[in-house]
Structure 1
């Protein structure tokens, strides 16, 4: 007597669980996130925002150009949400390439007295890594921004574990050469400046919990007043060009007749003399 056993081709119950991520979908619905302040960027990030308790790695050609425009709206919101409490307000900057410009950060609604800047000697990567790790363990710190151009994958892994253990926002800024290196960061971005009326920053999300992003996201990170001034200046320039356009059109200019040579005059006179007179 023979018995036939058929394999159960139905999906396991675990795949029907909302907390199970499928590789073809944008994950992170169960993640705790902080809105970036840019709707178009939130739309392509897992959990629709910056991951809380995880590392976000940001690559760019030159440090100090675009990072503040990218992260300032979220950091201002974090500080504003905890303004009535003591803990969770401090922002720690580790190894910034330049001293932050206070008036510009204040214009982006950041609370400057609640910011701590830690600067190390050039090339002293161990001290910067130590300061970043210590800041992540501090209860009064809401977010850590670290510029770590020489960090290794093993170093970043320890920082990722610390950020997860203490539920902190962690942004690590690195040069473009790190793009080909492995990284434990669940979210990796590449920044590129651009000149456009619609925006000034292209954000390429080349690693996320989900399918690859087909095209970079264009953001306008300029302050509202600056964007309004630039738009008004562009409109004035456009109207000026329209006013000057008729004057720039080429007009028909009569060219003077080319004078004939002296020998040409002599030949013409001889021709008239040689012609017979009409009766």
Structure 2
């Protein structure tokens, strides 16, 4: 079903059954398969491929040669029906690849709202990308990666499968991340190491001075006190009672499976 206000270029191929919302534009030589849903106001430029059971929200901009909803690259994948879900107001730049999930995990790959995915970024199967993130040019999210809200993964960086990049964390360019990066932390290198708090990002996003002091105190307990993480956990729990953002540190220490970068 194509809404009457949608503008489909005559050189585009939109299979019967695809759902195209109001005021959607589809450029020439774009290919959209039958199970795709595209929300109102989304702009799909030329030479884009959108396949499979892919749901794209409202007011997104998808640039040339992006591929959304292609089969994943997991050897275990056997053609099962899996999905990609993209939220609203995302900018998906040239040659970005977003692959659908696997039945061995969530069976879906999720992109939230208001994200910038830069040229040739690769979002592998079963990834979950939050809101307001920045994924840089040629950055790679391996399968099953989670990226929290307002996080940044800069150009040419690679995140190992099953790793988490916490909210407001910042991964510097050309980094290799093989363990979880706690929220708020600035990390860089191969393998990535912590270099303090992402103070620029935190200030830009309205964190108060008292919150920054609390986070800095918690960071020092984790990384500079010489204590084990088990020793640090109860101290962080006490700090979180006075400084709510410290809960982010507590939570990742409880759920991490690969351990955090040290």
Q: Would you say same fold, with TM above 0.5? A: no
Higher helix proportion (structure 1 or 2): 1
Higher strand proportion (structure 1 or 2): 2
Which structure has more RCO (C-alpha within 8 Å, separation ≥ 6)? Answer: 1
TM-score range, shorter chain: under 0.3
TM-score normalised over the length of structure 2: 0.26
Question: Considering only CA atoms, is the larger Rg found in Structure 1 or Structure 2?
Answer: 1
